[in-house]
Amino acid sequence: MNPDVVIVPNWNNIAIVDNLRDLGLKVVVVPGAENIVEVKQSIQLIADAIGEHDNGQQLIGLMDEKLADIKTKVDKIPPERRKKIVLISLMTTYGGIGCAFDDACKYAGVINGLDEIGLHNGQALTKEALVQSNPDILLMPVYNDHNTFDVDKFNRQYLDDPSLQTINAIKNNKLVYPRERYIYNDSQDIVFSIQEIARCAYGNEFDFPDNMHLSVSGETNQ
């Protein structure tokens, strides 16, 4: 294929990098972003690697515009209306302190219940920790791996467990099934992850259409 640049995420098989470089290929290793700032750094790293510095700056500018728009709405939410949420993930060690979702919660004007109880990303969410957190809203998984995984059965582990019935989100039936393509997004479209979290917590004032995407390539930014 003789590519000009090979982009390798550092959570992939990183051993391949030296082999590719030994073949004379230009390889750029992109760290897994754990917050919004690192997403921007990755965008600029890739843009510079392909000789598109200004486009990288422009794309980051689009992110900043969207973040400012969300902040304007979030700032109007009084402290007593701020919701505590917990992400129930098929990746059972994801969602705590130090991940992109945790950072997105701060921009979305919600309290990440796992952050509040001191649970770090990489630590498993136990049912005891979930009771301790006592979130107002549970973000439930929807991914069924092309109908090969029974996500409803997975969810019932939580919803039907007698020990969890004291949790506010379950008592009040505040179970939300988000658009996960946004929740787990680590590209420039992480801004829509923030907006999706806010939409799940606060409703229509943060609503937006499906298939939103930021681009400076000539595509329509929906």
> Rounded to an integer, what distance in angstroms lies between the CA atom of residue 48 and that of residue 34?
21
Chain-centre distance of CA 127, in angstroms?
22
| pLDDT at res. 68 | 98
Q: At what angle do helices 53-74 and 36-49 cross, to 10 degrees?
A: 160
Residue 215 lies inside a defined structural domain of this protein? no
Predicted TM-score (pTM) of this structure: 0.92
Retrieve residue 87's tokens.
């992400």
Residue 212 lies inside a defined structural domain of this protein? no
DSSP assignment of 36-86 equals HHHHHHHHHHHHHHTT-HHHHHHHHHHHHHHHHHHHHHHTTS-GGGPPEEE
What is the mean predicted confidence (pLDDT) over 169-186?
A: 95
Any idea what the Cα angle at residue 150 is, between residues 148 and 156, rounded to 5°? 170
CB neighbourhood size of 79 (10 A): 6
| pLDDT at res. 5 | 95
> Rounded to an integer, what distance in angstroms lies between the CA atom of residue 177 and that of residue 140?
5
Same domain, 147 and 183: yes
Summarised one tens digit per residue, pLDDT across range 120-168 is 999 999 999 999 999 999 999 999 888 889 999 999 988 999 999 999 9
DSSP assignment of 123-153 equals S---HHHHHHH--SEEE-----TTTTS-HHH
Same domain, 62 and 166: no
Domain containing 43 equals 6-74
Task: Say yes or no to pLDDT of 93 above 90.
Answer: yes
% helix, strand, coil for the chain, step of 5: 45, 10, 45
Q: How confident is the model at residue 114 (pLDDT cuts 50, 70, 90)?
A: very high
Same domain, 63 and 84: no
The DSSP 8-state label assigned to residue 91 in this structure reads S
Same domain, 50 and 129: no
Same domain, 97 and 201: yes
Residue 70 lies inside a defined structural domain of this protein? yes
Strand partners, 97: 120
Retrieve residue 53's tokens.
């510095």
Q: How confident is the model at residue 221 (pLDDT cuts 50, 70, 90)?
A: low
Summarised one tens digit per residue, pLDDT across range 61-87 is 999 999 999 999 999 999 999 999 999
Chain-centre distance of CA 62, in angstroms?
18
Q: Are strands 27-30 and 84-87 parallel, antiparallel or unpaired?
A: unpaired
Residue 218 lies inside a defined structural domain of this protein? no
Task: Say yes or no to pLDDT of 218 above 90.
Answer: no
Same domain, 101 and 122: yes
Summarised one tens digit per residue, pLDDT across range 15-34 is 899 999 999 999 999 998 99
Mean pLDDT, the chain, whole residue set: 94
> Rounded to an integer, what distance in angstroms lies between the CA atom of residue 207 and that of residue 161?
32
| The total number of structural domains that make up the chain | 2
Same domain, 178 and 86: yes
| pLDDT at res. 43 | 97
Q: At what angle do helices 100-108 and 53-74 cross, to 10 degrees?
A: 50
Same domain, 110 and 147: yes
CATH number at residue 108: 3.40.50.1980
